[in-house]
Amino acid sequence: MCSRPDGIVIAIDGPSGAGKSTIARLLAERLGYIQIDTGAMYRAAAFLLAAAGVNLGDLAAVENFCRNLDIRLESVSGRQLVRANGKDVTAQIRTPEMSLLTSRVSALKPVREALLKSQQQMGRRGGVVLEGRDIGTVVFPDAEMKFYLSASVEERARRRCDELTSKGEPVTIEETIAGVVERDRQDSERDLAPLRQADDAIPVDSSRLSIEEVLAKMFVMCRNKIDALEPSL
């Protein structure tokens, strides 16, 4: 039996550009679950800190600022909106500069503590697909289903480059590879909640698989787990 009222907790961790957001969204849709993009929450925190001009080297100031953080993920007509202290920041948090800044901001203890609490609160009833870097290791170490989704650096950079180019942002593959490598380094070498595969996570390498193939593989495993734990659902 699953101990949570709304279903199981599905954790998807992995490096940037492995396809976590797309897979988490489609998986949540298929299961009738809620998607929680924790990276978007860190991005929103970085945006707010930068907009307020908070000195990131001054941890007391960061902590003080984080006391009043209000970051929400809202679903509007099938689109996920990110609202930070009341403001819709969905588009602004997706630039390459914001990606690098977020990687720095997400290494700060007061930021992680504030967001950890709200993520645990958002997911505690179950029926959720959470994606990030530390979901299976820190946020929900007791998640019923854990995946570690990865892909080669070149493939991840190619996907990111295509995504940004299609939005009209002029980027080269070389600078995108450099950005991916730098973010991997920052995310996995930090002291707090570094990017790491949980011992009980199922590894999925998406380098040579289509989105549909990855989704099909993960969906079957989740469905089996849900059926085993909640025979009536």
Size of site (CB under 6 A) for ligand DC: 14
Q: Which is nearer to ligand DC, 189 or 227 (CB)?
A: 189
Q: Which is nearer to ligand DC, 131 or 144 (CB)?
A: 131
Contact 74, 143 (CB under 8 A): no
Q: Which residues pair with 81 in a beta bridge?
A: 74
Q: Which is nearer to ligand DC, 190 or 217 (CB)?
A: 190
Residue 132 interacts with ligand DC (CB under 6 A)?
A: yes
Q: 52: burial class by Cβ within 10 Å (0-12, 13-18, 19+)? A: exposed
CB of 98 to ligand DC, least distance (A): 9
Q: Which is nearer to ligand DC, 102 or 176 (CB)?
A: 102
Q: What is the dihedral of CA 53, 133, 153, 169, to 10 degrees?
A: -40
CB of 42 to ligand DC, least distance (A): 4
Residue 155 interacts with ligand DC (CB under 6 A)?
A: no
Interface with ligand DC in residues 33-52 (CB under 6 A): 38-40, 42-43
Nearest alpha carbon to residue 128 among 216, 230, 37, 232: 37
Interface with ligand DC in residues 87-106 (CB under 6 A): 102-103, 106
Interface with ligand DC in residues 6-25 (CB under 6 A): 16
| One residue of 8, 133, 150, 151 binding ligand DC per CB under 6 A | 133
Residue 183 interacts with ligand DC (CB under 6 A)?
A: yes
Q: Is 96 helix (H, G, I), strand (E, B) or coil?
A: helix
Vertex 140 angle, CA 135 and 145, to 5°: 80
Q: Which is nearer to ligand DC, 135 or 226 (CB)?
A: 135
What the block records as the tokens of 38 is 């924790």
CA distances from 70 to 14, 48, 67, 78, 162 (A): 25, 10, 9, 22, 32
Q: Which is nearer to ligand DC, 143 or 226 (CB)?
A: 143
The bridge status of strand 79-84 relative to strand 87-88 is: antiparallel
Q: Using CB under 6 A as the criterion, which residues of the chain lie in contact with ligand DC when the complex forms?
A: 16, 38-40, 42-43, 102-103, 106, 132-134, 183, 187
